[in-house]
């Protein structure tokens, strides 16, 4: 495994000099090469116009597909550019041919927008939503989930790493169950892409959605979708345009080949190019090394928090990642977040309305979320602990 050159990485992330950024689960800091790719394409658009600029950048645009294919162990034509993780997930989910009487399996850690989409479609179409229980650690209980599968179960839709905690769900074990029962498996990897080494073959998901701005360190307004080739013809994208399909006759059209059918003609070209650069940046460092460092930093943050009076770490699960959630007696999460921000430390707060089945069910109104990335340091953790103590 590569050693990460932290000094170089931090030098390429100039904001590290001024702030302690523990909001990587919200939006991470872009590294200079990613920022440069973004700005230089915008400059090209300014100088020669958006269409000519896209033509000149055809190689960089093509790299979007090859970079994500390499990141996920997929094929380039299984990758689509979508403006964010929610719409990427939607483009696949709303295209599945679910019917009245079908059943969909999910878990309490499911992302709020995905669960809302499940609710909306279940009301429209009449399928049932089964929420698989958690095991004693709080992660999805795979055996209990398998026991809930019926002949009408069609889909497993779960979130790898939730927004509201450091839990990593056992995605590959779920994949093995999906394969055994021949179910479509839709994985939300929005919080795991960029901090966890993902391999869609190993996980066994046929659909995976993610965003650019979080642990991948890309710009805002960017996302991606993976759909396994054998499913392309089974999913009818909910929207169509002249990029995702060809108008072949007066009353006919044909879907574009590959995952392009999930895209739209108009897109944030500079964002797409710079997200591809962000993926290359992560791959150059090495995902296994990133995963190791992020996990280690978060583990030492949790260890130090355990010694602070009044602090409760709220993360569930057996395998943990870079997101650390906590509450402090006598200081509500939003007040604590404001105090940290006043000291130059970025964090975020997740409230129960964003996680009704999780935080709501645990009786937590909100948690403070401190999410570290590989460019954070032990000194930053020490400073965070100092401020948390008050």
Ligand X SMILES: Cc1ncc(COP(=O)(O)O)c(C=O)c1O
Nearer of residues 64 and 111 to ligand X, judged by Cβ? 111
Nearer of residues 211 and 346 to ligand X, judged by Cβ? 211
Nearer of residues 141 and 188 to ligand X, judged by Cβ? 188
Question: Exactly one of 31, 162, 165, 218 binds ligand X (CB under 6 A); which one?
Answer: 162
User: Concatenated DSSP letters for 303-327?
Assistant: HHHHTSTTEEE---SSSB-SEEEEE
Minimum CB–partner distance for residue 222 and ligand X (Å):
8
Residues composing the chain: 390
Residues 331-350 that bind ligand X (CB under 6 A): none
- Contact between 84 and ligand X by CB under 6 A: the answer reads yes
CA–CA dist 71, 198 (Å, integer): 7
Question: Exactly one of 111, 281, 374, 375 binds ligand X (CB under 6 A); which one?
Answer: 111
| Cβ neighbours, 10 Å, residue 378 | 12
Are 302 and 316 contacting, i.e. CB atoms less than 8 angstroms apart?
no
Stretch that binds ligand X, among 84-92, 230-238, 317-325, 372-380 (CB under 6 A): 84-92
Residue ranges of E strands in 18-134: 20-21, 79-82, 103-107, 128-132
- Contact between 24 and ligand X by CB under 6 A: the answer reads no
Are 371 and 24 contacting, i.e. CB atoms less than 8 angstroms apart?
yes
Q: How many CA atoms are closer than 13 Å to the CA of 10, on its beta-carbon side?
A: 14
The owner of tokens 């295209």 is: 95
Nearer of residues 111 and 281 to ligand X, judged by Cβ? 111
Nearer of residues 37 and 88 to ligand X, judged by Cβ? 88
- Contact between 169 and ligand X by CB under 6 A: the answer reads no
Minimum CB–partner distance for residue 58 and ligand X (Å):
26
Count of residues touching ligand X (by CB under 6 A):
13
- Contact between 223 and ligand X by CB under 6 A: the answer reads yes
Directed axis angle between helix 378-389 and helix 333-342, to 10°? 120
Question: Exactly one of 24, 86, 169, 327 binds ligand X (CB under 6 A); which one?
Answer: 86
Residues 174-213 that bind ligand X (CB under 6 A): 188, 190-191, 211
Comparing CA positions, the residue from 282, 317, 321, 319 lying closest to residue 301 is 321
CA–CA dist 67, 83 (Å, integer): 17
Directed axis angle between helix 269-285 and helix 287-306, to 10°? 80
Task: Give the residues across from 129 on adjacent strands.
Answer: 104
Are 89 and 209 contacting, i.e. CB atoms less than 8 angstroms apart?
yes
Stretch that binds ligand X, among 33-41, 46-54, 159-167, 244-252 (CB under 6 A): 159-167
Nearer of residues 163 and 195 to ligand X, judged by Cβ? 163
Comparing CA positions, the residue from 254, 275, 280 lying closest to residue 81 is 275
Question: Exactly one of 23, 134, 139, 159 binds ligand X (CB under 6 A); which one?
Answer: 159
Nearer of residues 192 and 295 to ligand X, judged by Cβ? 192
CA–CA dist 388, 368 (Å, integer): 11
Minimum CB–partner distance for residue 330 and ligand X (Å):
28
Minimum CB–partner distance for residue 238 and ligand X (Å):
16
Question: Exactly one of 16, 61, 80, 85 binds ligand X (CB under 6 A); which one?
Answer: 85
Nearer of residues 113 and 376 to ligand X, judged by Cβ? 113
Are 59 and 195 contacting, i.e. CB atoms less than 8 angstroms apart?
no
CA–CA dist 83, 267 (Å, integer): 7
- Contact between 23 and ligand X by CB under 6 A: the answer reads no
Nearer of residues 44 and 186 to ligand X, judged by Cβ? 186
**Interface contacts to ligand X, rule CB under 6 A:** 84-86, 111, 113, 159, 162-163, 188, 190-191, 211, 223
């Amino acid at each position: 495994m590569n050693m990460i050159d932290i000094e170089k990485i931090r030098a390429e992330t100039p904001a590290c000099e001024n702030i302690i950024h523990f909001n990587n689960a919200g939006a991470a800091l872009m590294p200079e090469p990613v920022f440069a790719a973004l700005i230089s394409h915008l400059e090209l658009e300014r100088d020669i116009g958006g269409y000519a600029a896209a033509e000149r950048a055809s190689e960089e645009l093509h790299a979007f597909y090859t970079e994500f294919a390499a990141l996920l162990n997929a094929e380039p034509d299984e990758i689509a550019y979508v403006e964010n993780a929610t719409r990427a997930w939607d483009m696949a989910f709303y295209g599945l041919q679910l019917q009245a009487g079908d059943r969909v399996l999910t878990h309490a850690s499911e992302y709020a927008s995905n669960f809302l989409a499940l609710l909306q479609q279940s009301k429209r179409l009449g399928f049932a939503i089964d929420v698989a229980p958690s095991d004693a650690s709080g992660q999805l209980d795979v055996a209990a989930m398998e026991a809930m599968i019926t002949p009408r179960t069609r889909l497993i839709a779960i979130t790898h790493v939730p927004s509201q905690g450091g839990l990593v769900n056992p995605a590959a074990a779920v994949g093995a169950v999906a394969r055994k029962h021949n179910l479509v498996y839709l994985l939300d990897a929005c919080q795991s892409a960029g901090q966890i080494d993902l391999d869609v073959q190993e996980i066994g998901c046929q659909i995976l959605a993610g965003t650019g701005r979080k642990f991948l360190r890309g710009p805002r307004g960017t996302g991606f979708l993976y759909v396994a080739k054998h499913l392309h013809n089974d999913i009818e994208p909910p929207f169509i345009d002249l990029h995702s399909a060809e108008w072949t006759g007066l009353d006919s059209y044909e879907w574009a080949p590959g995952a392009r059918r999930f895209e739209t003609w108009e897109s944030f070209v500079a964002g797409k190019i710079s997200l591809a650069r962000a993926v290359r940046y992560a791959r150059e460092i090495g995902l296994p090394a990133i995963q190791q460092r992020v996990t280690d930093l978060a583990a030492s943050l949790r260890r130090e928090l355990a010694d602070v009076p009044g602090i409760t770490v709220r993360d569930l699960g057996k395998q943990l990642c870079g997101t650390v959630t906590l509450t402090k007696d006598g200081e509500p999460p939003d007040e604590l977040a404001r105090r940290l921000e006043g000291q130059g430390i970025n964090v975020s707060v997740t409230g129960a309305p964003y996680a009704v089945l999780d935080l709501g069910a645990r009786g937590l109104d909100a948690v403070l979320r401190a999410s570290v990335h590989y460019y954070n340091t032990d000194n930053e953790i020490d400073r965070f602990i100092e401020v948390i103590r008050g």
